[in-house]
C-alpha cells in the first residue's frame, strides 16, 4: 500500500490489518506518554484546501504521536493564491523531501491528481463529495470495538447521501465488511440509483425512517452539507428534522443495544437532536478518539518499516518502533519486552 485515495483501493484483508494496527495504537495512546518513535525522520505535510477542524487535528496528532515531523500547508496563504498551478505547488513541496501528503480539497479527484505529481504517499482526507476513507476506517474500528463485528449488522445511513463523502466511503466499506446497509433520505438528496444498487454496492433504500428505526443496529446520521447543496434540494430544516432527523422519540424506538453515530460537525436540532447526540447510545466522541489511532495505523502502514508482516499467526510482534518514549526524549528499553506482543 503506497497511497490511500479511496475505500475501493482496500481489500478486506487490508482493512482488517489496518484495524488491528489501530488497536495496537489504541494501547499506545493509553500510555502515560502516548508517543512512539516509529516514524522518526519522516515528514508529513498536511495540505488542507478546505476547512477542517477534527480531521486536520487528528492527522496532525497521529503523525506527532508516531514522532514524524509535521508541516502544515495553508492553501489560502500559499503561492496558489499568486497563480501557481497545483502541479507546481505539489512538485515544490515534494522537492523539500516529504514522505506523505495528507490532502483535503473541495473538488473530487484532487488527491488522485496530486498523487501523479509526487513521489510521496498521498492520503485522501476528504475530496468534495467523493471520498473520506479514514473516516470510514475509524467508523469501522468504532463499530468493531462496540458491537464486536460488523458482518450481518443493519447499518442505516440517513440524510444527505448525495453530497456526503462520508456516505460514499462508509456505504462501500460497511458493505465490504458484510453489513446490511440501509439508506434513507429525501429523494433530492439521494444519488441516482437503480433498484437496490447505489455507488456500485447493494443497499436497501427506504423512504420511511420510522418504519426502519426499530430494525437497525446502527443509526449513522449525516450532516446536511449546506456548502454543497442546491437550495431547491430541501424544504425547511424544521421539516427535514420532522421527517429525517433522529429525534428523541425516534431514538427511544431503537433496539436497546443499537448505537448512534455522526461524523461531525453536527447540526444539532436538524439531523440529530442534542439529547440524542449526548445520550449513552451515541458513539460520537469515541469516533473522534478512534480517528487518531486509525490515522496512526494508516501513516504507519504507508511510511513505517512494515514489521507487521506476521499476519497469519494471529499475533503481531511489536518491534523497537513501539518502545515508549520517555518524557526526556529517551527510549524506555525496559518496556520493550513487557509490551512485546499484542494478541488479537
223 near ligand MLT, rule: CB under 6 A: yes
For the chain, what is the radius of gyration of the CA atoms?
A: 21
| Binding residues for ligand MLT restricted to 303-342, rule: CB under 6 A | none
Query: C-alpha angle with apex 272: 267 to 278, nearest 5 degrees?
Result: 100
Rounded least distance, CB 305 to ligand MLT, Å: 30
User: Based on CB atoms, which residue is closest to ligand MLT, 126 or 133?
Assistant: 126
295 is a site residue for ligand MLT (CB under 6 A):
no
Angle at 232 between CA 227 and CA 233, to 5 degrees: 70
Q: Is residue 111 at the binding interface for ligand MLT, with CB under 6 A as the rule?
A: no
What whole-number distance in Å separates Cα of residue 99 and Cα of residue 170?
A: 27
Nearest-approach distance from CB 25 to ligand MLT, in angstroms: 20
CA distance 103 to 132: 10
Residues 45-74 that bind ligand MLT (CB under 6 A): 55
**Cβ 194 to ligand MLT, closest distance in Å?**
26
249 phi and psi, to 5 degrees?
-60, -40
How many CB atoms are located within 10 Å of the residue 229 CB?
Answer: 15
**CA angle, 176 as apex, 14 and 318 as ends, to 5°?**
25
* Nearer of residues 22 and 270 to ligand MLT, judged by Cβ: 270
Nearest to 26 by CA among 291, 281, 259, 280: 291
**Backbone dihedral angles phi then psi of residue 91, each to the nearest 5 degrees:** -65, -35
Number of chain positions touching ligand MLT (CB under 6 A)? 8
Q: How is residue 289 written as a grid cell? A: 478518539
Q: Rounded to an integer, what distance in angstroms lies between the CA atom of residue 182 and that of residue 250?
A: 16
23 contributes a contact to ligand MLT by CB under 6 A: no
Q: Which of 165, 168, 241, 281 binds ligand MLT (CB under 6 A)?
A: 165
Residue list 182-221, contact with ligand MLT (CB under 6 A): none
**Element of type H or E holding 31:** none
The C-alpha atoms of residue 5 and residue 275 are separated, in whole angstroms, by: 35
Which 259-278 residues touch ligand MLT, going by CB under 6 A?
A: 263
Q: Is residue 132 within the footprint of ligand MLT (CB under 6 A)?
A: yes
Choose, by CB under 6 A, the member of 121, 135, 175, 287 that binds ligand MLT: 135
**Minimum distance of ligand MLT from residue 129's CB (angstroms):** 9
Q: How far is the CB of 298 from ligand MLT (least distance, A)?
A: 16
Which member of 111, 126, 185, 245 binds ligand MLT (CB under 6 A)? 126
Chain residues in the site for ligand MLT (CB under 6 A): 55, 126, 132, 135, 165-166, 223, 263
Amino acid at each position: 500500500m503506497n497511497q490511500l485515495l479511496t475505500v475501493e483501493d482496500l481489500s478486506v484483508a487490508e482493512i482488517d490489518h489496518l484495524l488491528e494496527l489501530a488497536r495496537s495504537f489504541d494501547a499506545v495512546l493509553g500510555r502515560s506518554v502516548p508517543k512512539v518513535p516509529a516514524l522518526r525522520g519522516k515528514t508529513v505535510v498536511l495540505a488542507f484546501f478546505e476547512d477542517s477542524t477534527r480531521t486536520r487535528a487528528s492527522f496532525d496528532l497521529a503523525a506527532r504521536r508516531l514522532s514524524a515531523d509535521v508541516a502544515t500547508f495553508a492553501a489560502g496563504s500559499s503561492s496558489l493564491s499568486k497563480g501557481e498551478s497545483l502541479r507546481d505547488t505539489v512538485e515544490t513541496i515534494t522537492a523539500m523531501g516529504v514522505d506523505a501528503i495528507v490532502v483535503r480539497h473541495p473538488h473530487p479527484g484532487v488527491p488522485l491528481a496530486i498523487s501523479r505529481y509526487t513521489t510521496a504517499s498521498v492520503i485522501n482526507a476528504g475530496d468534495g463529495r467523493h471520498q473520506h476513507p479514514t473516516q470510514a476506517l475509524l467508523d469501522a474500528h468504532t463499530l468493531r470495538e462496540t458491537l464486536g463485528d460488523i458482518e450481518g449488522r443493519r447499518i442505516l445511513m440517513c440524510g444527505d447521501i448525495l453530497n456526503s463523502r462520508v456516505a460514499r466511503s462508509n456505504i462501500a466499506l460497511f458493505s465490504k465488511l458484510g453489513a446490511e446497509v440501509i439508506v434513507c433520505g429525501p429523494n433530492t438528496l439521494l444519488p441516482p440509483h437503480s433498484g437496490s444498487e447505489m455507488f456500485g454496492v447493494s443497499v436497501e433504500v427506504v423512504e420511511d425512517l420510522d418504519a426502519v428505526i426499530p430494525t437497525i443496529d446502527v443509526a449513522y446520521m449525516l450532516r446536511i452539507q449546506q456548502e454543497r447543496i442546491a437550495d431547491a434540494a430541501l424544504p425547511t430544516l424544521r421539516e427535514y428534522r420532522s421527517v429525517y432527523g433522529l429525534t428523541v422519540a425516534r431514538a427511544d424506538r431503537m433496539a436497546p443495544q443499537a448505537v448512534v453515530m455522526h461524523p461531525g460537525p453536527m447540526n444539532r436540532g436538524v439531523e440529530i437532536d442534542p439529547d440524542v447526540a449526548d445520550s449513552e447510545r451515541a458513539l460520537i466522541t469515541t469516533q473522534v478518539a478512534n480517528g487518531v489511532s486509525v490515522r496512526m495505523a494508516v501513516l504507519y502502514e504507508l511510511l513505517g518499516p512494515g514489521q507487521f508482516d506476521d499476519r497469519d499467526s494471529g499475533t503481531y510482534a511489536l518491534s523497537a518502533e513501539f518502545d515508549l518514549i520517555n518524557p526526556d526524549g529517551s527510549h524506555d528499553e525496559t518496556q520493550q519486552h513487557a509490551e512485546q506482543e499484542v494478541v488479537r
